[in-house]
A and B are shown apart, each in its own frame.
Chain A
């Protein structure tokens, strides 16, 4: 770790990958990598966030992301409160700002928020004193997911630069895709998005990605194949005619994967729809799938983010 410099997040929050500079991203990944090592050795740092309050504020259900933040916070010694706010009672955003006022009164230090509306964490960040971490907002961004994906890729491939990464499926509704696109492009990877035109965001190519509608061409020579979750409600809204048609043309199976590089890795942010966007045989292929490692890196990345933001709080106090 020669030349290690402590990472910073200039805004004091982690709201989005877009806007972060490559040195910030690299430094965060380096720190997360060291946490990954410590985690494997069973070593904890229970004094780092001692006396700090972390609130997991989840307006959407997500067991795995919430658990990952919870574990990350506990390993650093934070006091953690989980607040799950059922979506039915929070269709009006007043509740969001009412909640913000309540959290402020409780002197929360770190606030992890997931919300179904794009921009909700940014709105909250304007109203609270805590450092805000976006754990997924609508179809906007999911920055810690992109960081853990990048860390997983870097560990497997040794680098991010010049890798060919194919992001496949429902790009339109995917905050994971947006954060990954911003991060991977910033770090010099080549990014392709692959999916039916009805699931592609408008003017997607202007983000700097190559757009493909054919899996074989999209996966051709790829180092990394990143699958996205296709939510059931997309079927109902008529964007895709049926699950079987989607699986036939855009589901990842061994035949389609054969167009990628022989050592290409397969990723998925979870939870998977087996038989819709990914075939079980591929998802469970230990030689290709790094889905388990993604989950492991998730904890390390979130420890790094909490650590960095808590240090900034200390500086500003």
Chain B
């Protein structure tokens, strides 16, 4: 492969703080130079002033494969990810079959490699079959390449099981990722309990179900010394607990997803099932708390929380419709809306999408450094576009942002120096 020289770019690397006009040289799939020394025989790409940043590291997505290929295949997810500037994707294990066997973890890694555009980092099931009972083989799964342990969209409900998971994972230096929702309190809730759910006559899911689970698991992290990571945190009460746990020095981290800082519960409007998510969209006060926690560093990463659904999953009465939203193609654009809105600096926003999740996952990705893989994303931060059902890249079209106008678009994505989008 020829060397590639990207010139006239705004080089932005949140890990090092680099933010300067310049050129970047790619050689042998890695970043050869950030100094922009002209290279003989290299292909030259004029970035025309666009931002060149590390390819995004998305630490939470469910894929349709294996088991729900009618919703999405790895190939179609890779297409959506490339269009969204994502070059590294951590995928949930509550598939069918669940990723609770080393062979399945290796299979997923190889399937990622086969896309040529996307590194798949599988989480392994925290419990066998993600059934919440017996721990899976953390050591063997870790050796096979599992980045961490989680039961995906299911909470590890029993306190004893969670204690064992945190304790045992610690021995392998791995974190346990929790879906923070107390299941017996959440019940069959379809929307956050409150005035809107009351008006719509929908079974309510109290917001406290999140804080209860977070409080319990923080206590278990204290007990075990293990590392608990809370996924898609969405309430002020949970964020306050996490902030305090971090101040105490516990190994507690968290991420959130774009719907929780861009939308509130009113998006479910007249039974709009595309806005049915898990956790459900919250009150405006909670959305504001998520924005504040992004700005003050309490939240460690922004993940797409991509959940592919097809029309049959969503064209149902609200309480019967499946929860979950497609999120790969909109991850960057919706995050940049908070930059345009003045809540986050561009550097902090990109850190939440690149080096910070990479550090949590323990992978060499998400930075612009000489010798690092040339996973790159070229972004026009002000270019406007509109999210439209049917026009999103990839198969899954169930975006909760359907109709939203966004500013900030991926112009090109590079995986190991090869252009995979744009």
Which residues of A does B touch, CB under 8 Å?
18, 92-94, 96-97, 115, 117-120, 122-123, 137-141, 175, 178, 201-204, 206-207
Contacts and interface: CB of A to CB of B under 8 A. Distances in A.
A119 B318 contact: yes
Contact of A117 (B197, B312, B318): B318
Nearest to B312: A94
Nearest to A19: B270
B96 interface: no
B368 to A, nearest CB: 48
A92 B319 CA distance: 11
Given A122-B270, A122-B271, A202-B194, A140 B201 contact: yes
Interface in B238-294: 270-271
A120 B198 CA distance: 16
Contacts of A123: 271, 315-317
B202 interface: yes
Contact of B199 (A92, A93, A137, A207): A207
B40 interface: no
Given A119-B200, A207-B199, 9 more contacts: A93-B315, A93-B317, A93-B320, A93-B321, A118-B317, A119-B271, A119-B317, A140-B202, A206-B198
A119 B199 CA distance: 11
A175 B317 contact: no
A115 B198 contact: no
Contact of A203 (B198, B271, B316): B198
Contacts of A139: 201-203
B364 interface: no
Contact of A141 (B201, B317, B319): B201
A139 B321 CA distance: 16
Contact of B317 (A96, A201, A203): A96
A138 B319 contact: yes
A203 B194 contact: yes
Contacts of B195: 202-203, 206-207
A119 B273 CA distance: 10
B193 interface: yes
Contacts, number: 76
B204 interface: yes
Nearest to B191: A118
Contacts of A115: 317
A138 B204 contact: no
Contacts of A141: 201
A18 B199 CA distance: 9
B201 A202 contact: no
Contacts of A201: 197-198, 204
Contacts of B204: 201-202
A65 B355 CA distance: 61
Given A118-B202, A119-B200, A207-B198, A202 B317 contact: no
Contacts of A118: 200-202, 271, 317-319
A148 B316 CA distance: 30
Contacts of B271: 118-119, 122-123
28 contacts: A93-B316, A93-B317, A94-B316, A96-B316, A115-B317, A117-B317, A117-B319, A117-B320, A118-B271, A118-B317, A119-B271, A137-B201, A138-B317, A139-B202, A139-B203, A140-B200, A140-B202, A175-B201, A178-B198, A201-B197, A201-B198, A201-B204, A202-B193, A202-B195, A202-B206, A206-B195, A207-B195, A207-B199
A37 B193 CA distance: 44
A175 B201 CA distance: 7
Nearest to A97: B315
B252 to A, nearest CB: 29
B73 to A, nearest CB: 23
A75 to B, nearest CB: 31
A120 B195 CA distance: 20
Contacts of A18: 199
What 8 A-B pairs have minimum CB-CB distances, sorted nearest first? A140-B201, A117-B317, A119-B271, A93-B316, A139-B201, A201-B198, A118-B201, A203-B195
Contacts of B201: 118-119, 137-141, 175, 178
A297 to B, nearest CB: 24
Interface in B161-211: 193-195, 197-204, 206
Interface string B337-366: 000000000000000000000000000000
A97 B194 CA distance: 29
A207 B196 CA distance: 10
A140 B268 CA distance: 14
Interface centre among A18, A118, A201 (most CB of B within 10 A): A118
Contacts of B320: 92-93, 117
Nearest to A139: B201
Contacts of A96: 316-317
Contacts of A140: 200-202
Nearest to A141: B201
B27 to A, nearest CB: 54
Given A117-B317, A123-B271, A202 B199 contact: no
Contacts of B198: 178, 201-204, 206-207
A254 B291 CA distance: 55
Nearest to B320: A93
A172 to B, nearest CB: 9
Nearest to B193: A202
Nearest to B196: A203
A55 to B, nearest CB: 19
